Amino acid sequence: MNAAEPTAGPMRVQGACHCRAVRLTAEVQLSRVFVCHCTDCQVLTGSAFRVVVPVVPGSLQVQGAVKGYPRTADSGNVRWQYFCPECGTPMYAGTPDGAGLATVRVGVLQERALLQPTAQLWRRSALPWVNVMDGVPACEQQELLG
């Protein structure tokens, strides 16, 4: 496989939390990158939406101790949200035995600029201003903060 053509087949990604106590690697498909607008994701990220990428089953490898928080969906399914206990960075979701689908938070990955979303989930709870960013005054750094 040609590394210069990441659209062909699974791509290897790597990431770390903000304090770098937790690191992970996985294989992902560029054709499956999801934005989730559900209200749980808004609260758990402290932001407008979450961006996740499912990993190829069995490919997720984590170094460092993570802490898990069980989230029970409306369906009754429980998914564990894993984060760094030192800095709080959300890292991935899955099951304690590793058997269920694991999804990694795109923001922790070095390759995040390549992981363009391919679908939006739970659009019905999307924040009403989520599409207006192009019209909001912008600056290269934080000149507008003052």
Site for Zn ion, rule CB under 5 A: 17, 19, 21, 36, 38, 41, 84, 86-87
Please say which residue, 10 or 40, places its beta carbon nearer to Zn ion. Answer: 40
Cβ neighbors of 24 (< 8 A, separation 6 or more) are: 14, 15, 16, 60, 61, 62, 63, 91, 92, 104, 108
Distance between CA 62 and CA 47 in Å, rounded?
25
Give the integer Cα–Cα distance in Å for 50 and 19. Answer: 20
Given a contact cutoff of 8 angstroms between Cβ atoms, the answer to whether 37 and 119 are in contact is no
* CB of residue 18 to Zn ion, shortest distance in Å: 5
Nearest approach, Cβ of residue 36 and Zn ion (Å): 3
Nearer to Zn ion, 12 or 20 (CB): 20
Nearest approach in angstroms of CB 75 to Zn ion is: 13
Q: Which is nearer to Zn ion, 20 or 144 (CB)?
A: 20
By beta-carbon proximity to Zn ion, the closer residue of 43 and 99 is 43
CB of 81 to Zn ion, least distance (A): 10
- SS3 assignment, position 54: strand
For residue 81, what are its two tokens? Answer: 């949200």
